[in-house]
Amino acid sequence: MVEPAGGWKASPANINHARTVMNAVADSGALYRDGLGMIASENIVSPMVQRIVSSDLHGRYAEGLPYKRYYQGCGDFDTIEELGINLAKELFNVPFANIQSTSGTVSNIAALKALSKPGDNITAVSTADGGHISHARMGAVGLRDLNLSTYPWDEERMEPDIDASAELIREIQPKVALFGQSVFLFPTPLKELADAAHEVGSTVMYDGAHVLGLIAGGCFQDPLHEGADIMTGSSHKTFPGPQGGFILSSSSDEKFQRRLNNAVFPGTCSSYHLHHVAGKVVALAEFMEYGEELSRNTVSNAQAFGSALAAEGFDVLAESRGYTASHQVLTRHGELDSGAGAKAADLLEQAGIITNMNMLPGDTKAMTPSGLRLGVQELTRVGMGTDEMTDVARFYARVLLNGEDPKTVKQDVNDFKSNYQIIRYCFNEENQNGYPL
């Protein structure tokens, strides 16, 4: 009998490579299932979205816009994408939405391609003050070869200094005035700064990657109705969908909208991960049902967590403003550039608490910063409330202030987390476990 093409035989070496990957995937899943995922740029997706992102769409192609494709076989996906565009426009109350981008950074690259030319001036938040790497010369700004000037920073308020930044904008007259951050505790004083930008003919761009869900849930600020012409964002942080991006605009100008669409395809994407786009659409529908409550509880949890950490004795930034108005909390753990943030993050991981070290104002070395950036959005998603934030803060204190053995604390973290396994605020009537078993 002739062996069929593509038979199942495999060498031990190659099948072991695959098993290595499968085992590592399982271990990663167990780490988050049993521990506390508190990286501010992460979230988990609903069971329905999980099914969609592992569907046949993962291997399919679509280029162009709904009903204007370069491939056959896209009719069903046209239905999906058209629905997603309409839901995004409704949720954010805007006339334009593009849901194709594969990440927030790709959204930024596309937006800068649409809005500027190489050599143009741009203003943005410095990475040292919390700006995202895509706002810097090392990222999308450099890729577009833009001349970057950064806003003067108000360290106490953790936002651009309004008067000095407005003066900078009027002096530089940037093609794009970019706002938004990666370290993002409070709304940007956008109206005043957008007015200054529009006075000198700048386009105002707002990177809402971290806070997009809070914006959509009415719990942060509304940039596209406060002066921003365009907003980019991620679909997997406070907006709890699969990894991907959005581009939204308050402009009804069809020519401007075409520039934005063309900057995504063919500008920065060919096909654009159809399974993730379909997952975004379901996440949009879920968010329209549950997003306001989810966003409100996320902010409440972050504020309670900041207060609880401070009560334990931690140095929590922005005490005078109630620590945070977003999903993030910032803590300082030693002298500037001391690496104390990195050491704290490592100890916490040993205790089953997953965080990330982060530069704080005054730090200059990204790999040895003094701070941690902490997010509560995933804990909120699995049903934790303000009372649980006190329990979580206590775990931090046991590891970082009391010097307990992280392995001992990890046992208690695992027991605590076992009570929070069901993903909430989504279409999950069956109460399915949100983590891999």
Q: Is 381 helix (H, G, I), strand (E, B) or coil?
A: helix
Q: Are residues 212 and 319 in the same domain?
A: no
State the average pLDDT over residues 123-133: 94
Mean pLDDT of the chain: 96
Question: What residue type is 345 in one-letter code?
Answer: A
State the average pLDDT over residues 115-129: 96
Summarize pLDDT for 19-28 with one digit per residue, the tens. Answer: 999 999 999 9
Distance CA 361, CA 158 (A): 9
Q: Are residues 339 and 274 in the same domain?
A: no
CA dihedral 139, 140, 145, 149 (to 10 degrees): -80
Distance CA 169, CA 179 (A): 12
Q: E strands, 39-143, where?
A: 64-65, 68-69, 96-98, 121-124
Question: Per the domain annotation, does 82 fall within a domain?
Answer: yes
Residue where a domain stops, chosen among 229, 253, 286:
286
Which secondary-structure segment (H or E) carries 61?
Answer: none
Q: How confident is the model at residue 6 (pLDDT cuts 50, 70, 90)?
A: confident
Q: Are 36 and 389 in contact (CB under 8 A)?
A: no
Q: Are residues 125 and 92 in the same domain?
A: yes
Q: Look at residue 120 and tell me whether its pLDDT is greater than 90.
A: yes
Q: Are 331 and 374 in contact (CB under 8 A)?
A: yes
Q: Is 224 helix (H, G, I), strand (E, B) or coil?
A: helix
Q: Are residues 97 and 225 in the same domain?
A: yes
Nearest-CA neighbor of 62 among 272, 282, 352, 316?
272
Q: Are residues 191 and 213 in the same domain?
A: yes
Summarize pLDDT for 47-97 with one digit per residue, the tens. Answer: 999 999 999 999 999 999 999 999 999 999 999 999 999 999 999 999 999
Number of domains in the chain: 2
Q: Look at residue 130 and tell me whether its pLDDT is greater than 60.
A: yes
Q: Look at residue 7 and tell me whether its pLDDT is greater than 90.
A: no
Q: Look at residue 275 and tell me whether its pLDDT is greater than 90.
A: yes
Residue where a domain stops, chosen among 286, 311, 335:
286
Q: Are residues 309 and 253 in the same domain?
A: no
Domain that includes residue 368, residue range: 38-46+291-417
Q: Look at residue 209 and tell me whether its pLDDT is greater than 60.
A: yes
State the average pLDDT over residues 208-216: 98
Residue where a domain stops, chosen among 245, 268, 286:
286
Burial class (CB in 10 A: 0-12, 13-18, 19+), 360: buried
Q: Are residues 134 and 264 in the same domain?
A: yes
What was the pLDDT predicted at 56? 96
Q: Are 260 and 231 in contact (CB under 8 A)?
A: no
Q: How confident is the model at residue 5 (pLDDT cuts 50, 70, 90)?
A: confident
What was the pLDDT predicted at 9? 87
Kindly state the percentage of the chain with pLDDT values over 70: 99
Summarize pLDDT for 327-373 with one digit per residue, the tens. Answer: 999 999 999 999 999 999 999 999 999 999 999 989 999 999 999 99
Question: Per the domain annotation, does 31 fall within a domain?
Answer: no
Question: Per the domain annotation, does 111 fall within a domain?
Answer: yes
Q: Look at residue 437 and tell me whether its pLDDT is greater than 70.
A: no
